């Protein structure tokens, strides 16, 4: 079978399409024939060697896919063969077939297309954990979301709007704001040009926010933090705007300066908090993750939410999907179809 391997870090071209032996199921595992892969920004960081949760190279990247169970290992009921499942993993999804523990192959979401299923897991789970578990979102909260047109962002906008919040969607360019509004954001602001501070102050009701889901870092983090009202909660989920990949003192200094920080004395005076989460490190807490998954899928079905699939690539074009995500032109989730 074919799989994209990462043997060294660098530009998208370092991903190599190679022939590797088909996986054989170990006890407790299933083999999934992949239909579609969801591409994540974390995999771009991984490819550049900038992702802490990545395994040692060489490896096959990829954290999520949808496909059909075609084989099962010892201890797993053969009745699972033929089931269409969502696969969540640390790495290994950029392949035509994957092996994973049976419990990590979750029944696909009824009523979603294969592409939508591939686009759902990581983005919606991340947005849900950040907003509901960390920020403890309440109806009526004024909620700022950065990179709101992206994978996590489009999920977060929909969840917060469906929860009865006033969503302020933010993005790196004006062109993306229409998508953000169409998903339920009540107001929007772009941080792609000078004047972001003023635009956000105008977009937020009374100029204040109760909750922020932040993924960019640098000035975007600072401005969002300054807009928090008393008891405000800012959840850091990423810092896509910080470039640690350039090896010169000036770029390191910029990245260091832009890293999200909180002055506790200021936090006490303003009664605000900064939180951070990474769903990868939560995966071993299976009981809690399954209860969160159940709450998320119930909420999604009740409110008729759907992942936004921005663009679909062929398996052979996977490096192009990475390039497109890095270009900041992508909207919603990028999906790669296999076969």
Positions that interact with ligand NAP (CB under 6 A): 40-42, 122-123, 126, 147, 149-153, 171-172, 176, 215-216, 237-238, 240-241, 277-279, 325-326, 328, 330
Could you please report the per-residue DSSP string of 89-121?
-SS--SBSEEEEEGGGEEEPPTT--HHHHHHHH
- Position closest to ligand NAP via CB: 150
Of 69 and 204, which CB lies nearer to ligand NAP in the complex structure?
A: 204
Q: Exposed/middle/buried for 149, CB within 10 Å: 0-12, 13-18, 19+?
A: buried
CB of 39 to ligand NAP, least distance (A): 7
CB of 72 or CB of 203, closer to ligand NAP: 203
State in angstroms the smallest separation of the CB of 230 from ligand NAP: 26
Q: Is the CB of 69 or the CB of 129 nearer to ligand NAP?
A: 129
Helices (H), the chain: 41-47, 114-128, 151-162, 177-182, 196-203, 218-226, 249-258, 264-270, 279-282, 286-303, 318-326
CA distances from 247 to 35, 57, 174 (A): 38, 21, 31
Quote the CA–CA distance of 304 and 142 in Å, as a whole number. Answer: 22
The least distance separating ligand NAP from the CB of residue 73, rounded to whole angstroms, comes to 28
CB of 184 to ligand NAP, least distance (A): 17
Report the number of secondary-structure helices (H) and strands (E) in the chain.
11, 15
Q: How far is the CB of 75 from ligand NAP (least distance, A)?
A: 30
Q: How far is the CB of 254 from ligand NAP (least distance, A)?
A: 11
Residue closer to ligand NAP by CB (options 72, 255) is: 255
Distance in Å, CB of 331 to ligand NAP, minimum? 8
Cβ atoms < 10 Å from Cβ of 43 = 28
Contacts of 58 (CB under 8 A, 6+ apart): 5, 6, 7
Nearer to ligand NAP, 99 or 305 (CB): 305
> Which tokens go with 1?
């079978």
> Rounded CA gap, 332 and 334, in Å?
7
Return the DSSP state at 56: S
Taking the complex as a whole, the smallest distance from the CB of residue 160 to ligand NAP amounts, in Å, to 15
Q: Is 101 or 192 the residue whose CB approaches ligand NAP more closely?
A: 192
Rounded Cα gap, residues 9 and 49, in angstroms = 6
**Closer Cβ to ligand NAP, 215 or 234, answer by number:** 215
Q: Which is nearer to ligand NAP, 69 or 167 (CB)?
A: 167
């Amino acid at each position: 079978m074919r799989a994209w391997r990462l043997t060294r870090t660098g530009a998208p071209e370092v991903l190599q399409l190679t022939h590797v032996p088909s996986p054989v199921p170990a006890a407790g595992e299933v083999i999934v024939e992949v239909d579609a892969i969801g591409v994540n920004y974390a995999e771009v960081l991984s490819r550049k060697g900038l992702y802490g949760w990545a395994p040692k190279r060489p490896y096959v990247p990829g954290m999520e896919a949808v496909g059909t169970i075609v084989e099962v290992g010892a201890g797993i009921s053969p009745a699972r063969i033929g089931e269409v499942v969502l696969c969540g993993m640390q790495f290994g999804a950029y392949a035509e077939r994957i092996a994973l523990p049976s419990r990590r192959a979750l029944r696909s979401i009824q009523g979603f297309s294969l592409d939508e299923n591939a686009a759902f897991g990581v983005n919606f789970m991340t947005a849900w954990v950040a907003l509901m578990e960390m920020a403890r979102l309440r109806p009526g909260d004024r909620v700022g979301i950065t990179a709101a047109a992206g994978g996590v962002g489009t999920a977060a906008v929909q969840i917060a709007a469906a929860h009865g919040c006033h969503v302020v969607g933010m993005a790196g360019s004006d062109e993306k704001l229409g998508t953000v509004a169409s998903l339920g954001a009540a107001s929007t602001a772009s941080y792609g040009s000078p004047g972001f501070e003023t635009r956000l102050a105008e977009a937020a009701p009374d100029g204040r926010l109760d909750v922020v889901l932040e993924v960019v870092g640098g000035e975007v983090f600072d401005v969002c933090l300054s807009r928090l009202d008393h008891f405000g909660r800012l959840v850091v989920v990423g810092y896509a705007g910080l470039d640690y990949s350039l090896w010169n003192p000036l770029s390191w200094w910029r990245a260091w300066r832009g890293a999200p920080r909180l002055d506790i004395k200021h936090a006490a005076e303003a009664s605000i908090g900064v939180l951070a989460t990474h769903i990868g490190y939560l995966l071993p807490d299976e009981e809690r993750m399954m209860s969160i998954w159940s709450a998320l899928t119930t909420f999604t079905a009740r409110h008729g939410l759907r992942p936004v699939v921005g663009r679909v690539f062929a398996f052979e074009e996977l490096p192009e999907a990475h390039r497109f995500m890095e270009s900041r032109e992508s909207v919603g989730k990028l999906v790669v179809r296999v076969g």
